[in-house]
Amino acid sequence: MDLSTRAVVTACLAAVVAVAAFFGPLPLTIASGALALSVAMGWPRLLDIPVHGGTRVVIAIAGLGAVAATAATRGEPALRHLPVVLALSVVLAFVAELLRRDGRPRLVESLIGTVSGIVVATSSAGWIAAGRTDAGESLVVTTAVALAVASAVSALPLGGWLNAALTLGLAVLAGGAVGYVMPDLELLGGVWAGVVAGLLVASLHALFDQLPELRGRLGAFSATALPVAVGGTLIFVVGRVIVG
């Protein structure tokens, strides 16, 4: 999967989140769960983890568990059950390694890769929590649009720092513009959403662009879902600090 295709897929995933937020909490919950599964599907291939099946199952359980726990949580803080899900998922990762019957080669690498996938997948639940902030739907839609713009710009055939600067700049412009016209969100909140989206996409683009695993479909698909999944928890934090 080449760079332009990955950028289009990431932009489409961000657009799905924006549309889901517009239609309400249930569609947003479903979209968050789909993001977690997208990460789990190709994470072992992306990080070249020795055992694929068990890792996929553990990451999928963690991501869906985080989404379900957050959706079922009433009141504040919306993510108060997330540490429990993370802790149980890490224990499950250890159990999965103990159940291996291949001599456990690259044990530490496999365990660290699984835990990192757990963190990314559970971050998808942040979109649900962000939807419950004061800005709610407006914050989620603004961030998703900024992510889509940043992903599209990152595919331009430009060199390193120039690409990163343009990605960040246009994401900030998009976030600010959408935030300005959205109800319950001010220009500053939209700008910060754009900063988060731009930095996230630019940094992950620089990190994963040269990996040979991105030539495979599953690994590349997880890489496309990564900025959208991680963006959920990051924008929730921004929403709490900037918007309230």
Contacts of 49 (CB under 8 A, 6+ apart): 43, 55, 109, 110, 113, 114
Task: Give me the half-sphere count of Cα atoms (radius 13 Å) on the Cβ side of residue 205.
Answer: 32
List per-residue pLDDT tens for the chain, 244 residues long: 677 788 888 888 988 988 888 888 899 999 999 999 999 998 998 888 887 788 999 999 999 999 999 999 887 788 889 999 999 999 999 999 888 888 778 888 889 999 999 999 999 999 998 888 777 788 888 888 999 899 888 888 777 788 889 999 999 999 999 988 888 788 888 898 899 999 999 888 877 776 665 667 888 888 889 999 998 888 888 877 776 5
Q: Which amino acid type is present at position 165?
A: A
Q: Report the predicted TM-score, pTM, of the whole model to 2 decimal places.
A: 0.87
Residue 75, sorted as left (phi over 0), alpha (psi -120 to 50) or beta, turns out to be left
